[in-house]
């Protein structure tokens, strides 16, 4: 009777690190891995996981050091090239990030995760046309990879093809209906399209969206408003519309003689409308506030 070999202590530790990373516990994974890579610095898999943990923690220089250690141990391994590319992108080293991702794609051309990484690197470098073109054929083959279709949709929107971009996100949601990245991208599309009324403003919205995807060396990525801020802005806009309608209604009733409104009522309505307008403006993304000025 044939029995499966028991996992080694190193395999068990790496599996535990994978479980921690999957649950978003990068700090715990880093603490688990640090003494291990000290004892076994030749283990490329441990360095790969260390790079991922440090990226999750925002330690970009540390992530690059770990990714480089993995790459030196396994220069043709797609996993080492993947994390090296990702660390380089986050630091704004775009030529190196694209080169590492392209090398990974050459090593395993049928792996959609690697093509997705290459497209992400190109978007971070401000090359949305390259990203969209590179994913065009891959997207037809990778019908099971929701992440890739999200990246493809973002690349399409960035080159001014919003309808095709929404189709790509629709395919992502068909694969994974609860995909957080796809739903976040749809919200960003709606925000960008709210200022597009003709071809020129659509092109401007696409350019601003593409710029929002770029990573500039030495500059942190701009913080994007979360769902709570979006909801607050929506409520404020609805309230503003109701207050303005109330002011108009009171004015009409007073002109027709059906109501004699005290000055305090107008003052209250105008103050409420002003407050709602301020909240609505502050809750909008900074890029849209600038466009409006």
Topology alike, domains 7-109 and 116-215: yes
Burial tier of 135 (Cβ tally within 10 Å: 0-12, 13-18, 19+): buried
pLDDT by 10s per residue, the chain, length 293: 454 454 688 889 999 999 999 999 999 999 999 999 999 999 999 999 999 999 999 999 999 999 999 999 999 999 999 999 999 999 999 999 999 999 999 999 999 999 999 999 999 999 999 999 999 988 888 888 999 999 999 999 999 999 999 999 999 999 999 999 999 999 999 998 888 888 888 899 899 999 999 998 876 444 444 434 444 454 555 565 665 666 666 566 666 666 676 767 657 766 766 665 665 555 444 333 333 33
The rounded radius of gyration (Å) of the Cα atoms in the chain is 25
Residues sharing a CB contact under 8 Å with residue 251, sequence separation 6 or more, in sequence order: none
**What is the reported pLDDT for 93?**
94
Predicted TM-score (pTM) of the model is 0.71
Burial tier of 95 (Cβ tally within 10 Å: 0-12, 13-18, 19+): exposed
Domain residue spans in the chain?
Answer: 7-109, 116-215, 227-292
> How far apart are the C-alpha atoms of 21 and 50, rounded to whole Å?
10
| Residues 116-215, CATH architecture | Alpha Horseshoe (1.25)
Q: Contact 143/174 with Cβ under 8 angstroms?
A: no
Q: Report the sign of the C-alpha dihedral through residues 270, 274, 276, 280, in that order.
A: positive
At 154, list the tokens. Answer: 């973002």
**What is the reported pLDDT for 251?**
61
Could you tell me which CATH number the domain at 7-109 has? 1.25.40.10
Q: Contact 288/282 with Cβ under 8 angstroms?
A: no
Q: What is the dihedral of CA 169, 174, 179, 184, to 10 degrees?
A: 30
> How far apart are the C-alpha atoms of 202 and 186, rounded to whole Å?
16
Determine the Cα angle at 192 with ends 166 and 157, to 5°.
40
């Amino acid at each position: 009777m044939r029995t499966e070999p028991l996992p080694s202590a190193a395999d068990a530790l790496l599996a535990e690190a994978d479980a921690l990373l999957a649950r978003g516990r990068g700090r715990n994974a880093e603490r688990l891995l640090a003494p291990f890579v000290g004892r076994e610095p030749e283990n490329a898999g441990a360095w790969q996981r260390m790079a991922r943990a440090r990226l999750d923690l925002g330690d970009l220089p540390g992530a690059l050091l770990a990714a480089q250690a993995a790459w030196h141990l396994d220069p043709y391994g797609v996993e080492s090239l993947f994390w090296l590319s990702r660390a380089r992108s986050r630091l704004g080293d775009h030529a190196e990030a694209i080169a590492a991702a392209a090398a990974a794609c050459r090593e395993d051309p049928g792996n959609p995760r690697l093509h997705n990484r290459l497209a992400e690197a190109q978007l971070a470098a401000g090359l949305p046309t390259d990203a969209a073109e590179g994913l065009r054929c891959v997207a037809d083959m990778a019908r099971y990879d929701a992440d890739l279709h999200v990246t493809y949709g973002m690349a399409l929107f960035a080159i001014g093809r919003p309808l095709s971009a929404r189709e790509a996100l629709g395919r992502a949601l068909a694969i994974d209906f609860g995909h957080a990245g796809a739903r976040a991208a749809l919200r960003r599309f709606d925000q960008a399209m709210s200022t597009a009324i003709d071809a020129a403003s659509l092109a401007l919205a696409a350019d601003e969206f593409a710029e929002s995807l770029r990573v500039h060396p030495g500059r942190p990525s701009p913080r994007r408003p979360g769902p709570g801020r979006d909801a607050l802005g929506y409520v404020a806009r609805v309230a503003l519309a109701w207050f303005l309608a109330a002011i108009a209604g009171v004015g009409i009733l007073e002109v027709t003689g059906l109501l004699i409104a005290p000055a305090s009522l107008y003052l209250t309505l105008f103050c409420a409308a002003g407050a709602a307008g301020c909240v609505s403006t502050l809750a909008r993304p900074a890029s849209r506030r600038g466009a409006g000025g």
